[in-house]
A = this chain, B = another copy of it.
Amino acid sequence: MATGPSPVLSTRQQLVRARDAAPRVGELSTVQKNGLLIAMAKAIEGERQSILAANQRDLESGTAEGAVRDRLTLTPERITAMASGMREIAVLSDPVGESISEWTRPNGLVIRKVRVPLGVVGIIYESRPNVTVDTVALALKTGNAIVLRGGKEAAHSNHCLVEILSGVQGLPQGAVQLLDSTTRDSVGELIAARGLVDVIIPRGGAGLINFVVENSVVPVIETGAGNCHIFIDESADFDMADRIVLNAKTQRPSVCNAAEKLLVHAAIAANYLPRIAKKLDDAGVELRGDEAARRLVPSIKAATEEDWAEEYLRLCIAIKVVANVEEAIAHINHYSTKNSEAIVTANEVNARRFLRAVDSATIFWNASTRFSDGSEFGFGAEMGISTQKLHCRGPFALAELTSSKYEVMGNGQVRE
C-alpha cells in the first residue's frame, strides 16, 4: 500500500497542498477518474482486515454508545457496500466539461457556459466512516481535491481509509487528505482558508452546522436540519394518509427527512385524529399536541412552543389542528427548517397552493417526506440536503459539486 498524507504537515500546509492538487485533479479525464474510483473500490476490499482492525480501535478507545456507536461500527458487509458505492459513482455520467448553454451575440462573439470543478472541497463531519468514502468518490468524480475533517471518535477508521484511498496509483498527490481530528484547530484553519478552499460542507448535527455557518469565511453549503411537516387536508384519503404518516415518522426516525409534525384539517380532525393517534401509539411514537388535538385524544401530551420548532430525530411527533391549507402553510413557514414538507389531499387546488407557497427545499403531494434523498431522486448518490437557497437547494450530488466558467470565442471584437 502506498503511503497517505504525511502526519507532519500542518493543516495550513495540507490546504496549500490541496490547492496545488486541484488543477491536476481537474484535468483528469473521465476515463482516468473512473479508473481511479474502481481502483479505490478494489483497494478498500483488499484492505478489509486492516479497516476492520482500525475500526475496532475506534470502538475500543472511544466512548461512543447507542446510535453513535452504531453509525461508527464497520462490518465486512458495510465495507463491501462502501466499495459498491464507489463503483456506482464510477458509472454515473461526468458533469465536468458539460456545455450548460451556448449562444452567439449579434457582434459574432460565441459564449459558452461550461461546467468546471469547484476546486478544493472541504467536508466536516461526525462519526460515520462511510461518509469518508462517499465524499471522496463524489469529489474525485467531479474533478475536485478534497480535505476531510472527520470526527475524533472515527479517527483510526478514517486514517486507515484515507491512507488506502490516497495511495491509489495515479491519483495526484494532495487530492485526498484527512485533517487532524484530535483538535478543533483544524476546523478553525479550514473555515478561515479563503482562497485555498472553495466550499465547505458541514454534515452532522445542528451545533456543528451552525458553528461552521456562523464562523466560516469560505462559502458554505448548509445541510441537515429537518423539522418536517405533514398536512392532512380535508379531502385526504385516510388510508393513504396513514401510510405516509407512519412511513415518514417511523421508517427511520433519526434522519433529517423524517416527519416531526402532523397538521390535521379541522373538518376531519374528529374522524382522523383518533385513528392516526392509535396507529402512531401502536408504533411506539410519543404524541404531543395542541389543545384541539388533546380534546379529541386526551392521551396526547401538551406541546409547548418549543415543540413546534424542535427536530426530535426520534419516535415523537407533535400534532396540531389547523383551520385550512392557509393556516397549515403559515405554520410551516414559521416553524420549519425549510427542508421537506408534505400535503396529503385529493384537492388539486390546495395541493398546488401548498407546493407553491411553502418555502421549503422539497414539497411532496401525496408522498412520504422520506423521499428527500439524492438516491431516491435518481442522482445515483448524495452529498447532502441543502437547506440554504444559494448554489443548490434540497438533495444534491455531483452537479452541485461543480461551478461554471464562460468561454468566449471571437475574431478580434472590441467594445465600442
Give Cα distance in the complex from A394 to B404, angstroms: 9
A118 — nearest CB in chain B belongs to which residue? B389
Given A119-B359, A363-B408, A368 and B403 contact (CB-CB distance below 8 Å) = no
A130 and B293 alpha carbons, distance in the complex (Å): 55
Whether a CB of chain B sits under 8 angstroms from the CB of A412 is: yes
Assess the A390–B333 pair: CB atoms within 8 A: no
- For the complex, give the distance between the alpha carbons of A27 and B353 in Å: 11
Q: Are B103 and A365 in contact (CB under 8 A)?
A: no
Quick one: closest B residue to A410, CB to CB?
B367
Chain B residue with Cβ nearest A239: B412
- Tell which of A214, A365, A414 has the most Cβ of chain B within 10 Å: A414
Q: Contact at A247–B415, with CB atoms within 8 Å?
A: yes
A23 to B332, CA, bound (A): 13
Complexed CA–CA distance, A392 and B115 (Å) = 11
Closest Cβ of chain B to A272, distance in Å, is 16
**How near does chain B come to A137, taking the closest CB pair, in angstroms?**
21
Among A58-66, A173-181, A301-309, A369-377, the stretch that binds chain B is: A369-377
1/0 contact trace for A341-380 toward B, CB 8 Å?
A: 0000000000100011101111111111011100011100
Is A105 on the interface with B (CB-CB < 8 A)? yes
Can you list 28 residue pairs at the A/B interface with Cβ under 8 Å? A23-B333, A23-B357, A27-B357, A105-B376, A118-B390, A119-B359, A194-B213, A194-B214, A199-B389, A213-B217, A219-B220, A219-B390, A237-B412, A247-B415, A251-B415, A362-B405, A363-B406, A365-B407, A367-B414, A368-B415, A371-B413, A371-B415, A390-B403, A393-B403, A393-B404, A394-B405, A394-B406, A395-B406
The interface of chain A, by Cβ under 8 A from chain B, is 23, 27, 103, 105, 109, 111, 118-119, 194, 198-199, 213-214, 217, 219-221, 237, 240, 243-244, 246-248, 251, 333, 351, 355-357, 359-368, 370-372, 376-378, 388-395, 403-415
